[in-house]
Structure 1
Amino acid sequence: MKIVVLGAGVLGVSSAWYLAKSGHEVTVVDRQDGVADETSYGNAGMLSYGYTNPWAAPGIPFKAIKWMMQDLAPILVSSSAMNAHTAGWMLKMLGQCTEDAYRVNKNRMLRISEYSRQCFEDLEQVCPIHYDQRKQGTIELFRDQQKMDSIGADLASLRECGVEHSVIDHATCIKFEPALANVSEKFVGGLMFPNDGTGDCRKFTQGLADACKAIGVKFMMNTDIRALEHRDNEIQAVVTSAGRLTADAYVVCMGSYSPLLVKPLGINLPVYPMKGYSLTLPIIDESKAPQSTVMDEAFKVAVTRFDNRIRVGGTAEIASFDLSLKDSRRKPAEFVVSDLFPGAGDVENAEFWCGLRPMTPDSVPVIGKTPVKKLYMNTGHGTLGWTMSQGSARLLADIVNERATDISTEGLSVHRYL
């Protein structure tokens, strides 16, 4: 088949890879100069197969009110973004903040993440890519004993989904991350995910795009995607700044911009552009730097190690499509990296970045067929786009090919919102 993939982030390029490997003629279209130049550019750098949690969780509404009063809040709401659309999406998210919904959503997410881990391992065997990768796990670090003692429900979900993990004490945290010995009074223990990884998502995506080109995938960059032509509930073409493109199937991988494209088709896709920030610091003292990823549970900030850089990702801002960089939003990331790894990186010369995370109300991505013929989706992964990328793309390719899938597709398509 002839397939057009809309979007050249990590989800679009990964989808192109698996579709092309299964024998299709694939074209990827994107408005940017290069692949991974938007949301995939500066994410936290975590391959967090085990550390996979829905944003909508029991207690979040009350925590959100408290966070709004804090200077280092993990979630912020921009007053300029408050409108009927934003309010409606927030209400949908709040509706997912129950024990039952949290358990269902977490299990769906872990299903994809664990599958994606296996797919990454398979990919490395046939397509080795250098992306500053490390495989030394993630530590969710707890500053408060009471909070650490309250993670029973999460541990039950991890056991149910077969995700390898261990609760580790103070000394074991330091064993895995020796630099934490410099701030031993700051934490009480952690939750270790030994199969998690780290690396530069943009480097990975660029490497995979090169591999795609080598097997015949065509990339149309600097090309605006304007509309999907449809008739009799079937896509006829995609209209771009380079003209009309026709195909046998169309895959939407446009992240936060996906709802804008499919809304004229009658599909109300509840994906919101959750703004996220990151800092990338040159390492100035190796002995004080992290070895892998430390997720600060209290501030929801991840500190991740690349070869000679530290990536710090955190802060979620409900700000619609606003991509302005506000200096005040640096504070949580600067505080956590300076508090846990003082003197490790050059904070003054850090690259400050923001991007739009395509977030669904339940934090579960949208993968698979749509009610419109020839139209498929692979979008809405929120903060876990890279983590879930290979599993999502391979699953999408099996759906397009009408093959039996390796994991259940229950609850993953857009039909759950219709």
Structure 2
Amino acid sequence: MRVCVLGGGVIGVSTAYALARDGHEVTLVERHADVARETSHANGGQLSYSYVAPLADPSVLPKLPQWLFSRDAALRFVPRLDPHQWRWCAAFLRACTRARSRATTAELLGLGFLSQRLMHEVVEREALSFDYVRNGKLVVYRDQEGFEGARHQAEYQAKLGCVQRALDGAACVALEPALAHIGGEIVGGIHTPGEEAADCDQFTRCLARAAQRDGVNLQLATEFSGLRTKGLRVLAAQTSQGDIEADAFVVCLGFQSQPMLASLGVHVPVYPLKGYSLTLPNANAQGAPRVSVTDAHHKVVYAPLGERLRIAGMVDLTGMNPHADDARIALLTRQARETFPNAGDYDAIQTWTGMRPATPDSKPVIGATHFRNLWLNTGHGALGFTLALGSAQLLADLLAERELPIDGDAFAPGR
């Protein structure tokens, strides 16, 4: 089958790779001169297979006033005269129930464990170089209430197959000595030894080369403008290099999926959550963490990538503007300095801003639309790198009408 994949981020490239390995003739369309130039370029770097609990949870409701009125909040919401933003927010609030949060956690863990298994297979099969380490993850808490909530969550996830353990503050510092500077503030942490870290940009580019060896045609520097349809079939993707005809089309365009598909009457509940990252080059071996660390208080993640340290955080629900807010970058830098002051030369940091394509319930949208040959693989929020390979395999299985490794209905469009 001829398949056209739209979008060259980690989701699009993973999808093209999975489909090519199934024997399909795949063309991937990307507007930039290389893959992974936008949201996949400098994300947090943590492969958090066990940390997929949705943002929509009853515990967030008391925090809504802070999100509205504080510029320093980890999640900042700025209301817009945008019906799509308000529809997304209303759906998010409806998802903030304990029952839905628990069910979503179980579904995302299934997709996460599938992705982890596939990552191990890809690493074994392909000669990829992307600063990949199986270094575990430590989430540290500075307040007892947050730590107790995390312990209860870990107990629930243990029933679903997660291997995690709760540590007191001293044990957290013993596990990761670079935390000593804030050791007196840490009341406890959750350690997950099976978590991993890697450079998403390098992974995506290496996987794209592997996909090319499997026959994928990478059509780079090609602007996509729309889909030409007839009845309930897509005939071609309209691009700056001419129409691309195919038997099936897969949309992996992140937050841009929503406006593109809306013109076809396909509703995708995806809205951009702007995030920020810093990359600290030549990280100090003694002052930077070797374990992946998440500071739960500030909602900031730290991932060692070779000799670099990736620092990422913030969620801005502020509209479709992709440009960085300098005040948010400054805040993230200050929080990182306070947590790991000896990690390296903060004056040499590289900054990045990306638009995470999020759904209200935090689950990606994977599956068929009402068009007979139009498929979606989008809406992964901050978990695109973590869930990419599992999502691609699920999409390939659905297209091939094979038995599914997990419940596909949980991620179906229109669920």
Alignment TM-score, normalising by the size of structure 2: 0.97
Distance 1:377 1:160 in 2: 31
CA displacement 1:60-92 (0-9 Å, x = unmatched): 13212124444531111235x442221221111
CA shift at 1:196, angstroms?
Answer: 0.9
Q: 2: distance between equivalents of 1:371 and 1:172?
A: 53
Amino acid paired to 2:230 = R
Partner residue, 1:101: 100
For the 8 Å contact 2:394–2:405, the answer to whether it is kept is yes
Q: Is the 8 A contact 1:285 1:345 kept in 2?
A: yes
Amino acid at match of 1:311: R
Q: Report the equivalent of 2:413.
A: 414
Q: CA deviation at 1:343?
A: 1.7
Write the distance in 2 (CA, Å) between the matches of 1:78 and 1:283.
36
The answer on 1:22 being equivalent to 2:19 is: no
Q: Give the drift of 1:234.
A: 1.3
Q: 1:357 to 1:284 in 2, by over 3 A?
A: closer
CA-CA distance at 1:405 after TM superposition: 1.5
8 Å contact from structure 2 (residues 70, 76) kept in 1: no
When the two structures are aligned, how many residues end up with a matched partner? 415
Report the 3-state secondary structure (helix = DSSP H, G, I; strand = E; otherwise coil) of the residue aligned with 1:265: coil
Q: Is the CA contact (8 Å cut-off) linking 1:44 and 1:303 kept in structure 2?
A: yes
Aligned to 2:48: 48
Query: Partners of 2:59 and 2:364 in 1: how far apart?
Result: 22
The separation in 2 between residues aligned to 1:296 and 1:239, in whole angstroms, is: 45
What is the aligned-residue identity percentage?
36
RMSD of the alignment, in Å? Answer: 1.4
Deviation at 1:316, TM superposition (A): 0.6
1:145-164 equivalences in 2 (<5 Å): 145-164=144-163
Q: What is the Cα deviation at residue 227 of structure 1?
A: 1.0
- Give the counterpart letter for 1:41 in structure 2: H
2:345 match: 346
Q: 1: CA distance between counterparts of 2:71 and 2:83?
A: 27
Q: Residue 4 of structure 1: SS of its match in structure 2?
A: strand
Indicate if the aligned counterparts of 2:2 and 2:26 stay in contact, CA closer than 8 A. yes
Please tell me the residue identity of whatever aligns with 1:233: L
The 3 A distance-change label for structure 1 pair 261 and 165 is same
- In the TM superposition, residue 378 of structure 1 has moved relative to its aligned partner by 0.8
Stretches of structure 1 lacking an aligned partner (at least 5 in a row): none
Correspondence 1:188 to 2:184: no
- Asked if structure 1 preserves the Cα contact closer than 8 Å seen for 2:151 and 2:166, the reply is no
In the alignment, which residue of structure 2 is the partner of 1:392?
391
Decide whether the 8 Å contact of 1:315 with 1:332 is kept in 2: no
* Distance 1:190-1:152 versus aligned 2 partners, 3 A rule: closer
Encode CA deviations 1:21-61: one digit per residue, 9 max, x unaligned.
11111000011111000000010001000111211111313
Partner secondary structure for residue 415 of structure 1: coil
Residue segments in structure 2 that go unaligned for 5+ positions in a row: none
Distance 1:153 1:182, change over 3 A: closer
Instruction: Decide which moves more: 62-71 or 235-244.
Output: 62-71
Query: Are 1:3 and 2:3 an aligned pair?
Result: yes
Give the secondary structure class of the aligned counterpart of 2:293: strand
In 2, Cα distance between the equivalents of 1:82 and 1:338? 37
**Alignment correspondent of 2:377:** 378
Determine if contact 1:114/1:163 at 8 Å carries over to the other structure: no
Instruction: Indicate conservation of the 8 Å contact 1:314/1:332, yes or no.
Output: no
2:59 alignment partner in structure 1: 59
In structure 2, how many angstroms separate the alpha carbons of the residues matched to 1:294 and 1:217?
Answer: 36
Of 64-73 and 240-249, more deviation after overlay is shown by 64-73
State the secondary structure of the residue aligned to 1:131.
Answer: coil
SS of 1:344's equivalent in the other structure is coil
Equivalent in the alignment of 1:263: 262
What amino acid is the match of 2:158?
R
For 1:242 and 1:147, the matched residues in 2 are separated by 53
Superposed counterparts of 1:125-204, under 5 Å: 125-204=124-203
Q: Is the 8 A contact 2:254 2:357 kept in 1?
A: yes
CA spacing shift, 1:284–1:411, aligned 2, 3 Å: closer
Deviations 1:187-231 (A, max 9, x none): 111111111111110000010011111121101111111111222
Runs of 4+ in structure 1 over 3 Å off:
67-71
User: What per-residue deviation string (whole Å, max 9, x for no partner) do you get for residues 335-366 of structure 1?
Assistant: 33212211212222211110110000000001
1:363 corresponds to which letter in structure 2?
S
Q: Structure 1-normalised TM-score?
A: 0.96
Opposite residue 53 of structure 2, the aligned amino acid is: N
Alignment-derived partner of residue 229 in structure 1:
228
SS in 2 for 1:147: helix
Matched, 1:77 2:111: no
**1:243 alignment counterpart:** 242
**One-letter amino acid of the structure 1 residue matched with residue 246 of structure 2:** A
- Mapped partners of 2:320, 2:119: distance in 1: 31
Q: Does 2:378 align with 1:368?
A: no
Deviating more after overlay: 327-336 vs 127-136: 327-336
